[in-house]
Structure 1
Amino acid sequence: MFLTKDDFFEMLEGNRRLTMRIVEVFPEDKLFSYSPDEKLRPFAEMIKEIVNIENGYMSGVALDVWEYKDVFEGVSTKIELIKICHDVRDNTRKQWHEMSQERLEIVMKDSFFGEVQSHFARLQYGLENEIHHRGQGYTYLRILGIDPPAFYER
């Protein structure tokens, strides 16, 4: 493995800090309702997807408990959304530190999407999904006339 488990986690953490900075500057009245086109989702829905994937994958990778569920059921405020994001990440940190590097190398069929891949590749997909949706958040903010945080500040 080119990256160690800890190196990869630092990459995950830096990206999450940046994603949460986007959430924090997003106006609450737009976070749950605004999209620039009817084919696109509000940014809060993208954040829910990012964190639900994280929650499901980490339980699966770390504990072999594969369950994709919506941890945001009933959430309608920015404060609630941010709290759940932090709660899930705190749980991820705990599971990550208890998990061996070898767990990331296990190859199996993905319980959610069906592909055969390593746990590392699975988590990399989660990271790429986060980066993709964060980019949409940047675009939404700019359309709303709001300067987003600098992407290089992690």
Structure 2
Amino acid sequence: MTSTTATTNTPVITSQDFLKNWQAHRALSRRVLAAFPEKELFEFSIGGMRPYNVLVGEMTGLASAGINGIVTGKWETTPALDHFNHEINLTTKAELLEAWDEVTDQIDALWPQISAERFFETEAAFGQYPNTIINTLQYLFDNEIHHRGQGYVYLRALGIEPPAFWDRF
């Protein structure tokens, strides 16, 4: 016996649920950052990977420029966030944590400006990566998870128990 199921266009996740999930992952990534000793945050590396402060700079810069681009069409960090780029110039863990929190607030402030239709529009993120907005957001999410995983490897190599990966709330 064969059965057929009608395909519907019902969303699997709402915009607010996506934001809540992203911010929960960001909170976990922040706890990974906070677990690093100051010196090792800027100097420790394994197998040629970049130190974790540089990875944090990338995650922070992409999130800031990403949410700004999605909302305004300008794929750059906001003027108040000029210190976010791949050549991050923040020199202390406290500065990195403050910057992380600043971007978290930026995401919360800009998110409500994204219309339901915008998620399905195609745009070249950062002027070079054409994709739908929802897929660009998923890339930002995946990139952060990837780099957080590198942070877990670093922490374990340093003999530090990282935060539980499943504890995102």
Distance between the aligned counterparts of 2:34 and 2:76, measured in 1?
A: 28
Higher Rg of the two aligned structures: 2
RMSD (Å) for aligned C-alpha atoms:
1.5
Unaligned runs of 5+ in 2: 1-10
Q: How many residues align?
A: 152
Distance between the aligned counterparts of 1:74 and 1:134, measured in 2?
A: 20
TM-score (norm. length: structure 1): 0.92
TM-score (norm. length: structure 2): 0.84
> Contact conserved, 2:44 with 2:52, CA < 8 A, in 1?
yes
> Contact conserved, 1:62 with 1:99, CA < 8 A, in 2?
yes
Distance apart, 1:147 and its partner CA? 0.5
Distance apart, 1:7 and its partner CA? 1.2
* Alignment of structure 1 residues 2-151 onto 2, 5 Å: 2-37=12-47, 39-67=48-76, 70-71=83-84, 73-112=88-127, 114-151=128-165
CA offsets per residue over residues 79-120 of structure 1, 9 Å max, x none?
0010011011101110002322222111122334x2321111
> Contact conserved, 2:83 with 2:89, CA < 8 A, in 1?
no
Distance between the aligned counterparts of 2:41 and 2:137, measured in 1?
A: 26
| Divergent runs of 4+, >6 A | none
| Residue 153 in structure 1 maps to residue 162 in structure 2 | no
> Contact conserved, 1:53 with 1:126, CA < 8 A, in 2?
yes
Q: Which amino acid aligns with 1:24?
A: A
Distance between the aligned counterparts of 2:103 and 2:149, measured in 1?
A: 21
In percent, how many aligned pairs have the same letter?
Answer: 34
Structure 2 SS opposite 1:32: helix
> Contact conserved, 1:4 with 1:101, CA < 8 A, in 2?
no
Distance apart, 1:70 and its partner CA? 4.6
Distance between the aligned counterparts of 1:97 and 1:6, measured in 2?
A: 9
Q: Which amino acid aligns with 2:130?
A: V
> Contact conserved, 1:107 with 1:119, CA < 8 A, in 2?
yes
Distance 1:74 1:111, change over 3 A: closer
Unaligned runs of 5+ in 1: none
> Contact conserved, 1:34 with 1:43, CA < 8 A, in 2?
yes
